[in-house]
A and B are shown apart, each in its own frame.
Chain A
Amino acid sequence: MSDVQEKPKRKRGGSLVSRVQRSWSDSVLSMIGRSSLLESGEEPPVVLAPPPPPTPQRPPQLVQEVSARMLTFDELADKIGHRPHKDRLGGHWKRSTEYKAVRAEITAVNTLSAASLVDGDLDGLDGQLDALIAAAGRYRAQHKKNNDKTGAADDVVASAQAQKLALAAVRADPAFDQVKHHITLKQAIECKQRGMAFADCRFDLYNDTNAEEVDDAFGSGMANSVAKIEYANGDTLVFKGERVSDEGVQLSAASAIGIDAKAPHNGNRNIATLAVAELLGQPIVPKVCYGMHTNPTTGEQEIGLLMTMAPGKTITTTDPVTGVKKRREMWPPGNPPSATAQAKLMEQLTSLDWSDVITGQMDRHGGNYMVDINGDEVTVTGIDNDVCFGAQQTDPNANKGQYFSRTTPPGMPPLIDKKVYDRIIASDFDRDLRPKLAALMTAAEVTAAESRFNLSKMHAAGLHPEYVVADWTAWRSPAPAQLTAKAFLKAAGTGVGSDKSGGLFGRDFAAAFEREGIL
């Protein structure tokens, strides 16, 4: 008689399974370290549905060519010269007809682009840019023996062509209606210069008119200054002006993974990081969108990234006197987190580890994530997600030996939360991520993200089931070691001088747990 009949507790689904097949099933379950569910009566694990696509839609792709070549009105004017010069022979102040034509067209472009987007004459501006290109061509022909002037004319043409591309991108953006009443044509073009999709812009909500309290000296990182703004709708957000270029200020970790300093699109990298966190079903990075705020130094309105305030504090802090970074005490000595909080801390830190390997995050040092421990509740938030999604990092399993300036813990996470595992296994790059990422980064960066995602998914699928953690308190590593999750992550190492680690917990918390005697 078959095993199925000998064990009446087994579900009757087994009636479709032959004795040979049941025997095979039992053997394979044993090989992959799992127990039969038939006697326990438990339901099989639920595979979660992937998250829905964003609304409104982003454009199908980023127009990268816009960013590096487009000049501001002032830069255009500087290129061509501001005032008549003195003629060598006659002693008169004069400029050529071609010069005057270029200046006139630049002024006309600037005037047209100052109109609000809803009232703006997009066709007129497009024609005006053609006129500017033609005028610059005539200017170039007139001064073809003067390298300075031909170079200036070439720059003007390149910029005008870039503006035409940006204008086309403005027109083609499916979420045009979301911003058209709130910005000028020039600002819309500047959005495209920064690679922004209008779907990510909330100029209607987040502008100076709606700002009730502003702290322009809220903070700064190595690369960016930030402001804290309280809005009329009750939101308190952090604003970071979105630069067109990072030339001269780009972090070496960013250049190491191929982020174009001339067009870094840092805000988009934060939005893409949020997309990955949402795919994993984990609120481990801030909600982000674009808004506007007046720069206190220049007095001009800036477009920038707005982030929800992350609770808690960073793991490291910089001494204001010495400039030396030091580790914070995350709880009063002798008063460590509760067992529930410890489990949540490990779960969220490990989830951030998984998000970071998928995004190719290079800069997850202790100042770039925050932890809030409040009784049994824990919130881990990865902040400043600029240095990720590089085109030159296709392997998620990265370390400091490959990228010297990398500060993220090395290697693939050795454990995975069951909920994150389910999401990764259920997800598909083409279906769930590519449509979101394509508008935010270059095609090469999307391809690298696909590689990292698929390798990460493969790593998750290949992890022995014993390392998929459903309960961070009860979990034990396989026999004979039988380590707790925290001891296991500590044993995996801090990552210093190694190509693997126990992730953020292993690097930043394991030692403190040991000191408190809770490891």
Chain B
Amino acid sequence: MVGGSPVAGSEDQRQWCIRVLNLDPAGASGNRGEPILGVWRDAKEAVDARLEALGRTLRGLGDPDLDQIAQYGLFGLTGGGQTVALMAALQDYDRAAPADRAAAAAAVGKAVGAYRAMLHSSPLAEALDDNPFGVEIGLLDTMDVAFRQIITAIR
């Protein structure tokens, strides 16, 4: 490589590394593109923002039951232990050295599978998406898009 970090070079330099050294410097950097945790976080923040909007709507109606739902019922699906496990797996993958990447990818696949299964079997997810307050959540769709991006990235 000419000067500095191998990942700092041009595409020509990268191709040279692949051809001559049999080494992809982008792969050696430990991060080949957008962190997959970021993909998940963006999706979650988008959903959470819509849930916040739903929460505001519920609280605005001055109804104790809707207040309860706003306080306890909205973030259970995007929070909790399974979310922590998923985020830990995504974070581990982003930080994994090339040699550990395959194992980390397997762990991500497992965590995504478990999380997705949890979401799609949850009547609460369906209820939030179908809420009668005119606030579009799109929880399942948004998460599925993110999961597809994540699975594509780790393949």
In the complex, A457→B75 CA distance in Å? 10
Of the listed residues B65, B67, B76, B82, the one surrounded by the most CB atoms of chain A closer than 10 A to its CB is B65
The residues of A that contact B69 with a CB separation of less than 8 Å are 25, 28-29, 32
User: Given contacts A31-B123, A394-B91, are A38 and B79 in contact (CB under 8 A)?
Assistant: no
Q: Is the CB of B81 within 8 A of A11?
A: no
> DSSP majority for the B interface?
helix
Q: Output the nearest chain B residue to A457 by Cβ-Cβ distance.
A: B79
Interface string of B81-100 (1 = CB under 8 A from A): 11110011001000000000
Q: What's the minimum C-beta distance from A23 to chain B, rounded to whole angstroms?
A: 8
Taking CB atoms, residues of chain A closer than 8 Å to B83 are 458, 462
Report Cα–Cα, A31/B65, bound state, in Å: 13
The residues of B that contact A465 with a CB separation of less than 8 Å are: 72
**Closest Cβ of chain A: how far from B115's Cβ, in Å?**
12
Contact residues in A for B64 (Cβ distance below 8 Å): 11, 13, 37-38, 42-44
Within 8 Å by CB of B76, from A16, A25, A36, A462, lies A462
A77 at the interface (CB under 8 A from B): no
- On whether the beta carbons of A38 and B72 are closer than 8 Å, the reply is no
- Tell whether, in the assembled complex, residue A16 and residue B73 are in contact, meaning their CB atoms are under 8 Å apart: no
Q: Which of B63, B81, B131 contacts A13 (CB 8 A)?
A: B63
Name the CB-closest residue of A to B73: A32
User: Do the beta carbons of A47 and B71 come within 8 Å of each other?
Assistant: yes
> Are B66's CB and A425's CB within 8 A?
no
Closest Cβ–Cβ distance, residue B100 to chain A (whole Å): 15
**Distance A34 CA – B128 CA, assembled complex (angstroms):** 16
What residues on B are CB-neighbors of A24 within 8 Å? 127, 131-132
For the complex, what is the distance from the CA of A94 to the CA of B76, rounded to whole Å? 78
Tell me how far the C-beta of B72 lies from the nearest C-beta in chain A, rounded to whole angstroms. Answer: 5
Among candidates A38, A45, A412, A462, residue contacting B65 with C-beta atoms closer than 8 Å: A38
Tell me if A455 counts as interface (CB < 8 A to partner B): yes
CB distance from B142 to the nearest CB of A (A): 17
A-B CB pair tally, cutoff 8 Å:
106
| Residues on the B chain within 8 Å of A42, using CB | 64
- The answer on a CB contact under 8 Å between B132 and A45 is no
Given contacts A21-B133, A28-B127, A16 and B81 within 8 Å (CB-CB): no
Give A13 to B65 CA distance when docked, in angstroms: 10
Chain A residue numbers with a CB within 8 Å of B127 are 24, 27-28, 31
Question: CB-CB contacts of B128-147 with A at 8 A, as 1s and 0s?
Answer: 10011100000000000000
- With a cutoff of 8 Å between Cβ atoms, the chain B residues found around residue A17 in the complex are 61, 63, 66
Which residue of the partner chain B has the closest CB to A21? Answer: B132
List chain A residues, Cβ under 8 A from B75: 458, 461-462
Contact A462 B63 (CB under 8 A): no
Contact B84 A412 (CB under 8 A): yes
Please give the distance in Å from B90's CB to the nearest CB on chain A. Answer: 11
Least Cβ–Cβ distance between A341 and chain B, in angstroms: 30
A18 proximal to B (CB < 8 A)? yes
| Residue contact B91 to A45, C-beta cutoff 8 Å | no
Please indicate the chain A residues that have their CB under 8 angstroms from the CB of B78 in the complex.
458, 462
Interface assignment of B15: CB less than 8 Å from any CB of chain A:
no
| Most chain A CB within a 10 A radius of its CB, from B62, B91, B128, B131 | B62
Interchain CB contact under 8 A, B71 and A13: no
B68 in the interface (beta carbon within 8 A): yes
Task: Report yes or no: B79 in contact with A461, Cβ–Cβ below 8 A.
Answer: yes
With most chain B CB atoms within 10 A of its CB, the pick from A11, A25, A31, A44 is A25
For B131, the closest partner residue in chain A by CB is A24
Point out the residues of chain A lying under 8 angstroms from B3, CB to CB: none
B147 to chain A, nearest CB (A): 18
Closest to B77 in A: A462
Q: Does B80 contact A (CB under 8 A)?
A: yes
User: Are A18 and B61 interface neighbours, CB within 8 A?
Assistant: no
* Closest residue of A by beta carbon distance from B92: A395
The residues of A that contact B128 with a CB separation of less than 8 Å are 28
Map CB proximity to B onto A444-485 as digits: 1 under 8 Å, 0 otherwise: 000000000001011111111100000000000000000000
Residue A20 lies at the interface, judged by CB distance under 8 Å to chain B? yes
B23 interface residue (CB < 8 Å to A): no
| A459, B84: Cβ atoms closer than 8 Å | yes
Give chain A nearest CB distance to B52 CB in angstroms: 12
**B76 and A459 contacting across the interface, CB-CB below 8 Å:** no
Q: Does A236 reach chain B (CB closer than 8 Å)?
A: no
Contact A28 B124 (CB under 8 A): yes
A17 to B75 alpha-carbon distance, docked (Å): 22
A14 on interface, CB distance cutoff 8 Å: yes
Cβ contacts under 8 Å, A463 to chain B: 80
Complex Cα–Cα for A28 and B58 (A): 13
Q: With A and B bound together, what is the CA distance between A425 and B78 in angstroms?
A: 14
Chain B residues with Cβ below 8 Å from A462 are 75-83
8 CB contacts below 8 A, A to B, read A14-B63, A26-B65, A38-B64, A43-B64, A425-B71, A461-B75, A462-B79, A462-B80
What residues make up the interface of B, taking CB atoms closer than 8 Å to A? 61-69, 71-73, 75-84, 87-88, 91, 123-124, 127-128, 131-133
With A20-B132, A32-B124, A44-B71 given, name 11 new contacts (CB 8 A): A11-B63, A14-B65, A25-B63, A28-B73, A31-B123, A32-B76, A37-B65, A44-B67, A397-B88, A458-B80, A463-B80
